[in-house]
Amino acid sequence: MAANAPLLELRDAVPSFEESGLMPAPYNLRIMPGECAVIDCRDVERAALFADLCTGMISLTQGSIKFMGLDWSVLRDRQLNALRGRIGRISRHGGWLDMFGTHLNIMLPHLYHTSEPFDHVVLHATELGHKFGLPGLPISAPDRLSAADLARAACVRAFMGRPALLVLEDISDMLPEETVLPFLEMLTAARDRGCGVLWLVRSGAAWHDYRKAVNIHMRLLDEGLFSMRVV
Amino acid sequence: MTGTPPDTTGQGTARPGGMALPSAQPEPENRGRLIALLGRFAPWLAAIGRLTRHQVRFTLLLIGAGWGTLRESLRPNSWRRPVKYEFRATLRQVVSGGFLSIVITATLAGLMVVSQAAYWLGYAGMAQMTGSILVSVLVREISPILVGIILMGRSGMLSLTEIGMMVLGGEVRGLQARGIDPFLALVMPRTFAFTLGGFTLGMIFAVVSLLMGFVVAHASGAITSSVWTFFFNVLAAMTTWDYLIIPLKFVLVGFFVGLGACISGLTVSSTDTMATIMPRGFARGIMLVLVVNILFMLDF
């Protein structure tokens, strides 16, 4: 990735309507390393689809989406997966495998994409867990955890390792009040390392405390992505 | 220049001798008739095509996924930690989940086949054939089918349901979003766990069924030799091919039951429910078990 190159760039990207259900309008977005883009979208399904679009999971009929200078559409499966391994993601739905314990769910992407010793991964995950208010790594299945603990675990998983991009769907309604500050601190720390942030929110309340640190504010509507004034 | 001007009237050209070339006028009529005929049969042809494609789809998927599984398994990079974990977990489930069923089924099969064979062959004065009959009937033909069915019932259906539900619940898509290939993380390790599990359970089945058969036949007086002599006779009756084919059948039955279950689970559509996934997976599993055995029966 060249210096001063955008981390994530959507250039007139028109998603396939048949595949995604997203309106086939041209989407334009450019996130530089360390930047934070907040996308307002009330519809959580559409927000999840847009997150999928940015991570190269929806094919395009026109335009291109580049992440770290690489076009998703020209990469092969192994390269696609390796590149997605650089993205920390919080999903609102479908992110947990109930057949594994939550601890394995948290560490799974990191164990899959890196060869870091297992003990280090456990230690790192436990430390992050403490920061987000978990007493340790929860070993019970995700469907047995409360919504608040699952939201904490989702944060731990997203911040594991050193992601180059954070794609965060809105879980502010599940995240306990005392976890909001550590979450924003971690977000800032990640941005200081050069990590870009794509934060999909449902309302202004979700990112109100972070408003001054946001670089890009856009609104995702049926018709496409529209710029908003950052206050 | 003395060339004949081209006929532009569309009436045809007169040949010497009074024969006329066929005119262009009947052609649209023929074409129209052909189109009408095609229009009449097109829905039937389309239905046959749809049915053929639908029936062949799973076979082609299975061949492709089988080749992909073997190819990917040879890459050291494919055996990452979560993949190894999944392999171990599935192997544990396959072997421990099927062990008791295998022992009970093998005992029943042994009681029926060994004692009956020993009794009737002894009655017919062909007691020396006991070993070869048991090898060809019990170990080579019955064991792989029963092991395949138990493997499918105890573990294959579980894998099918788990993966199918993961697809419907969006969890497989969640894995993909995190850069985890579901084929590498779910299909490959489970298929190899089923392969190894099939071999393990098959060997347990063969030994237990022969042993239990011997116990009953010995107790009833149909067999008077020692257990060592009995097993020696069975081994002596095995040909070189048997040493290859019997383990190969167990391995292939395990491989295809595992692969079939995983592929059936991974290819469910959004309209599928448990009520449609389970019967389809069961029918495919039974078909695969029988096909593997019948293929071996034809060749050897």
Angstrom CA distances, A106 to A32, A173, B176, B298, stand at: 27, 21, 15, 50
Domain annotation covers residue B30: no
pLDDT in tens, B130-152: 777 777 888 888 999 999 999 99
- Residue B15: pLDDT above 70? no
User: Which pLDDT score is estimated for B300?
Assistant: 52
* Residue A39 CA, distance from chain mean position: 12
What domains, with CATH codes, occur in chain A?
8-97+165-227 (3.40.50.300)
Instruction: Find the CB nearest A94 among B81, B162, B170.
Output: B170
Instruction: Find the CB nearest A113 among B162, B171, B179.
Output: B179
pLDDT in tens, A152-200: 999 999 999 999 999 999 998 899 989 999 999 999 999 999 999 999 9
Is there a contact between A97 and B80 if contact means CB atoms under 8 Å apart?
A: no
Average pLDDT score, chain A = 91
User: Which pLDDT score is estimated for B111?
Assistant: 84
Is there a contact between A112 and B177 if contact means CB atoms under 8 Å apart?
A: no
Q: Which two tokens stand for residue B232?
A: 């020696």
Which of A111, A114, A119 to mutate to test binding with chain B, by most B CBs within 10 Å of its CB?
Answer: A111
Instruction: Find the CB nearest A77 among B82, B170, B181.
Output: B181
Rounded mean pLDDT, A97-120: 94
- CA-based nearest distance A165→chain B, Å: 12
Domain annotation covers residue B144: yes
Rounded mean pLDDT, A135-158: 94
pLDDT in tens, B268-299: 988 888 888 999 999 999 999 999 888 887 75
Range of the domain at B265: 61-299
Is there a contact between A83 and B166 if contact means CB atoms under 8 Å apart?
A: no
- CA-based nearest distance B255→chain A, Å: 22
- CA-based nearest distance B44→chain A, Å: 28
* 3-class DSSP string for A123-167: HHHHHHHHHCCCCCCCCCCHHHCCHHHHHHHHHHHHHCCCCCEEE
User: Which pLDDT score is estimated for A2?
Assistant: 64
Is there a contact between B174 and A57 if contact means CB atoms under 8 Å apart?
A: no
Is there a contact between B81 and A84 if contact means CB atoms under 8 Å apart?
A: no
- Residue B86: pLDDT above 50? yes
Neighbours of B210 (CB within 10 A): 25
| Interface contact B40, partner A, CB < 8 A | no
pTM over 0.95: no
Rounded mean pLDDT, B77-86: 94
Contacts of A96 in chain B (CB under 8 A): 171, 174
User: Which pLDDT score is estimated for A18?
Assistant: 84
- Whose CA is closest to A68, among A9, A150, A11, A25? A9
Contacts of A82 in chain B (CB under 8 A): 179
User: Which pLDDT score is estimated for A23?
Assistant: 84
Domain annotation covers residue B45: no
Q: Which residues contact residue A100 at a Cβ distance below 8 angstroms, ignoring those fewer than 6 apart?
A: A108, A141
CB pairs under 8 A between A and B: 66
Instruction: Find the CB nearest B82 among A81, A89, A112.
Output: A112
Instruction: Find the CB nearest B177 among A89, A108, A118.
Output: A89
- Residue A14: pLDDT above 90? yes
Domain count, chain B: 1
List the single residue in B with minimal CA-CA distance to A163: B178
3-state secondary structure of A194: coil
| Interface contact B15, partner A, CB < 8 A | no
Domain annotation covers residue B146: yes
Domain annotation covers residue B12: no
CB A27 within 8 A of CB A15: yes
- Whose CA is closest to A203, among A225, A167, A172? A172
